[in-house]
Structures are given as C-alpha cells and as structure tokens.
Structure 1
Amino acid sequence: MLDLSVIILTYNEEIHIRRCLDDISSFAKKIFVIDSFSIDRTVEIAREYGNVTVLQNKWVNYATQFNWALQHANIQTKWVLRLDADEYLTEELKRELTKHLPNLNAQYTGVIFPLRRVFLGRTIRKGMPKVKLLRLFQYGKAQSEVRLMDEHIQLLEGETIELENEFADDNLNNLSWWSQKHIGYAIREAVDLLDIEYNLTGTAKDDEARIISEQAKAKRLKKHKYASQPLFWRSFAYFCYRYFFRLGFMEGKEGFLWHFLQGWWYRTLVDAKVYEIKKACGNDKEKIRYFLQDKYNITL
C-alpha cells in the first residue's frame, strides 16, 4: 500500500463508484469521497469500504470542490491522487507507481500519466494526440486551477515526472446522459472562448505562465489559436482534422460517434452559444458579463 490519499468528487455516481473503489481501495492508504449530496446510492456504497471517508459539500465547480477537499479532508499522506468516479488505474500503472513512487527524487512533486479514452466500450486511440495529465502530487504542493472549464492541477513548487502506463476514463452512462452533460459543458466552454477573445476575467493571458503539464499548456495555447478562428467553420475543420487527417475513421462506429459528437456536434453547440451571446451583446464586455449572469447565472 502506497503513502497515498485519493480524492474522488461525486454526484450520483452509483454506476461507477464501486468499480473505482475496488480498483484503488487496496492500493491507497486513504480515500476521500467528496460528495455533492447525491440522491442515489453513491454515499451508501462508498461507506462500505474501510479506508474511505465521505465528506459532503455543496457544488460550485470542479476546481472549488477539489480545493475544498484539499483544505478539509484529513490528509496525512505524502501523495494525493485526483481521480474521477468514472476513472480507474490500469494494473500496469499501479505496478509502475508501486515501483517508482517511494523512490522519487525530492524535486519531483507532480506525476503525469497518459490517459486511455474509452467510449461505448472501445478504446479510442486514433484521431487525437495522446493525452497526458498531471493527476498525482505531493500534498501541499499543488492545487486545482480555478476556472470554469478545462481546469488542471497546478504545481505550486517542484517539478513533474512522466510515467509510461495509463489510467482510463471509461464512462458507463448512455448517450442521452453523455449528450445532456455536454449541453451543460457548452456554455462554460463558450465563456472560456469569450474570455480568451475579450479577456473578461483578466486572467486569460496568464495561461502561458501557469505551472501545469507541458501538454496541458500546449493544449491551452492551441485553444487561444482556435478562439481566433471563424465561428462554425472551426468546429467543422476540427472534426475533419481529427476524423480524416488523424485517422479517426479507423476506430469503427464508436470512433465515428466519438469524433462526430465530441469533435463536431459539441464544438458547434459551443459556437452556437458564442454566437447567441455576441448577437445579444456585440463586443461590449460589460453587456456580455451581464448577459452571462442574467441568462446563465455565471458571474465573472
């Protein structure tokens, strides 16, 4: 067992939580399930495990909830892992962590893993670059960025090291659930793009200086370039790039659905939200801020 605490944020994760906890309960010293007052059996299932502590806190956004957990959970281990309920560590990654984590040099305060994307039961590898995320860090030496969308773990001190083996994102919900979730994401992503374009929060220009993984930083800067491209054309071009030029079509029916829904439909919906806001407010930043508060209850 590693000197490791795991933080899992949950809301109605009955379908995933047992798989997630079975995967890590014998691997990590302590697990903290931070629940946003689920109305299903999430909390009941989590409390079946001896090394799991359940805390409940009202949801604001992912970053706020995760940072609340860092402050209020009784973390006494050297290392902390961020894991979502629909994620799990592969056996290969667990063996790699067991071998290397206790012996890491002191300067390494963050650990980066590759992500395995599973959609409708199929691992999707073609069409997108390999995603690597900073998910493991020394307690007290990192926190989550506070932003509406695409938040990452940000180191406060030290350096990162990359491991070879993957953790998996494998959501078991149906496509109706997936679509509704992305409808909710769309307004937040639209606000993120508007923030890049108009600097609504005054922090968008700081993205290059953030101490996040190099891949995450590169992806963030690509989003800045994407934000400067014409509405609707950019979502179509993004899908074509993924599906044809990066060979996403080789992933079968699941691959088509993944790249179409996540790479075109969702991105077009985001652009539709941007178009709606610009049509109502023009380029007036104050009008945009008021519109977001009035229509979407988003305060910048």
Structure 2
Amino acid sequence: MTAPISAVILTYNEENNIKDCIDSVYGFAEEIFIVDSGSTDRTLTILAQYENIKVINHPFENYSQQRNWAISNLPFSTEWILNIDADHRLTPEFKQNVLQHFQIGISQDTNGFLASRKTMFMGKWIKYGGHYPTYHAVLFRKGFGQCEDKLYDQHFKVEGQAIKLKGDIIDLITESLSTFTLRHDKWSNLEAWEQFSQTNYNDRVIKGSLSTGNPIAQRRMLKNIYQKFPLFVRPFIYFFIRYFLRLGFLDGTRGLIFHFLQCFWFRFLIDAKIYELKQRQHEQSAD
C-alpha cells in the first residue's frame, strides 16, 4: 500500500547502496526524488532502471544546504516529506506504522514523526552503549520542517508536535573500516571548526533541553554539556560512559571496534584538530 508521502534521497557515488535503499522505499512512497550531486559511478544507471523516480542534479555545498534546497525547490505533490540517506533502509515495521497513522488520520497538531535508527556496523546491530534507540525527525509536513544550518551532526527541526514511530530505519554506517575512518576524518574537520569558531546559530539549530520530551533536544543538551569538558579529557569520559556504564561491551568484538572508533578515536581526533586550530591562531597573533 502506498503512503501519501514524497521521499527525498541524497546521492553521490552510491552504487553500492542505492538499489537496496530504493527497494525499501519503492511502492511505499507516492513519489521518490533523488538529489544527486554529480555521481560518476553507476548510481544514475541503477536509478534509470526504475520507473517514476525523479532525478535532479544539484551541486553539493554541505548536507544542510543540500537538504534545505531539496525541501524548498522540489515539486512535491504530497503534504508529507520523508528524508533518508542512500545507506538507509525502511523496515516493514516502519512502513506499516506510518500507514496506520495515515489510515487512522493525523491530527493537525502533529507536524512530524520521529523514528529510531538501527545502526549496522560490520554486519552487526549496535544495540548497546546508548546507541539504540536514537530518534531522528525523518517525516514532516511540507512547510513545517527544515534541516539545521550546521556543518556536521545536523537534525531536522519540526515546528509543532512530533510523535515517535514504532518501526526503525536501518542505518548501514560503513562499507568498510577504511570508508568509516575516511568519513569520520572529514567530519572531524567540520565538527572541530564549529566548536573552535563557536558559531552562534541562534534559531537555526535545535536547542538543547533535558526537560522536554523531544529526544533530539535531550541529546543536544548532553552534547552541549560534553563540550564544556576540557579537551582530551572528555573523549575518555565519553568512552567510559558509553562502553562500560551504558553496556557497550555487550555488543561484542565488532561492538568494541565501533564504540572505540566512534566514541573515543573520533572525538579525540576532533579535540586534536581543535588544539591544532588554537595553535595556529596563537602563532598568527604572535606574528
């Protein structure tokens, strides 16, 4: 059964991911838009095998601007917009729950839906370490959602009430350890610069709050607290909490690899790059 939603998928050289992603959405979303930023592999060839998929090419600046361009410029024919990445897969439970909401009728006060991602790393579901469930705003009414204007760790902001869905979205976060480390090295540059420059985003980002029922705002508040700790100390604390207190060790050997790289190495790398930026600033001011 088809849901009255428009799916938006960003692509760039996603030949290894796009078919399974499309297959999980095809026949469920009323229309599918692909916003491609110049793929040179077989991504576009694979997409050409499907009927009624609209492929639009748009130059890539950053994820936030690409997503917001899509929201503002694509010719949606539905009231609801679903945003996923090429390495995401909609589960049958997710699709069934969305359809149930549309069949029952969605209140005008509800402008969005949150779904948890089910992270798969080296073929294993990372269930512990506080990594599941982690909710993201993936579906919202047209005109009531936008992506945060951030270089890294962007979330969709929904104006009005957003309710949790029961089904998950599978997130295949890496094809290989080499891909994982290369991506996180790139992302560490963005996160280090944002923390170093202390960019004031005002209303363009989700405000952190532990008192609200919004899990995205709660995670943002915890991140704000984390950033107040000293450089090079906070990665050790974060890893200890995630791996030991939040039971990340129960994820086994592949979980150890994931939690160490994601909770310690990545964040230590961010701190090292912040330190490097501060050293350069000091040297320039001394000249």
TM-score scaled by structure 2? 0.92
Distance 2:13 2:73 in 1: 21
1:39-188 matches, within 5 Å, as 39-102=40-103, 103-129=105-131, 130-155=133-158, 157-171=159-173, 173-188=175-190
In structure 2, distance between residues paired with 1:88 and 1:111? 17
Decide whether aligned partners of structure 1 residues 207 and 25 sit closer, same or farther in structure 2, where only a CA change above 3 A counts: closer
Is 157-166 or 30-39 further displaced after alignment? Answer: 157-166
Question: Corresponding residue for 1:194?
Answer: 196
* Residue 261 of structure 1 pairs with residue 261 of structure 2: yes
Structure that is richer in helix per residue = 1
Amino acid at match of 2:25: I
1:47 CA displacement: 2.1
Deviation (angstroms), 1:208: 2.4
Q: Quick one: distance in 2 between partners of 1:248 and 1:200?
A: 32
Question: Who is 1:234 aligned against?
Answer: 234
* Counterparts of 2:184 and 2:24, CA distance in 1: 27
Looking at structure 2, the residues matched to 251 and 41 of structure 1 have their Cα atoms a distance apart, in angstroms, of: 35
Partner residue, 1:292: none
Give, in whole Å, the separation in 2 of the partners of 1:241 and 1:111.
29
User: Any stretches of 5+ residues in structure 1 without a counterpart?
Assistant: 288-300
Shift of 1:165: 1.6
How far apart in 1 are the matches of 2:157 and 2:41? 32
Q: Structure 1 135/213 Cα, relative in aligned 2: closer, same or farther at 3 Å?
A: farther
Write the mapping of 1:254-293 to structure 2, written as runs, cut at 5 A.
254-282=254-282
CA contact (8 A) 1:29 1:51 kept: no
Residue 136 of structure 2 aligns to a residue whose secondary structure is strand
Give the drift of 1:62: 0.6
Question: Which residue type is aligned with residue 165 of structure 2?
Answer: L
1:259-286 Cα shifts (integer Å, max 9, x gaps) = 00111111110000010011121499xx
Moved over 4 A (4+): 204-207
Q: Which residue matches 2:214?
A: 214
Hey, what's the Cα distance between the residues in 2 that align with 1:97 and 1:10? 24
Are the equivalent residues in 2 in contact too, given 1:25–1:51 (CA < 8 A)? no
Structure 1 contact 124–255 (Cα < 8 Å) conserved = yes
Structure 1 41/217 Cα, relative in aligned 2: closer, same or farther at 3 Å?
same
Unmatched tracts of structure 2, length 5 or more = none
Q: Which shifted more, 59-68 or 220-229?
A: 220-229
CA contact (8 A) 1:145 1:153 kept: yes
Q: Deviations over 1:71-96 (max 9, x none)?
A: 22111111110000000111111111
- Deviation sequence 1:11-65 (CA, Å, 0-9, x none): 1100000000011111111100100101101111112211211001111011100
Distance 2:138 2:146 in 1: 10
Identity percentage over the alignment? Answer: 35
TM superposition shift of 1:207: 4.6
Q: Is the 8 A contact 2:208 2:224 kept in 1?
A: no
SS at match of 1:183: helix
Contact 1:134 1:213 in 2 (8 A): no
Change over 3 Å in CA distance of 1:67–1:265 after alignment to 2 = same
Change (3 A) 1:202 1:126: closer
Correspondence for 1:11: 12
Preserved CA contact (<8 Å) 2:208 2:221: no
Matched residues in 2 for 1:282 and 1:75: separation? 50
- CA distance, structure 1, for counterparts of residue 206 and residue 142 of structure 2: 23
- The separation in 1 between residues aligned to 2:208 and 2:259, in whole angstroms, is 31
TM-score (norm 1): 0.88
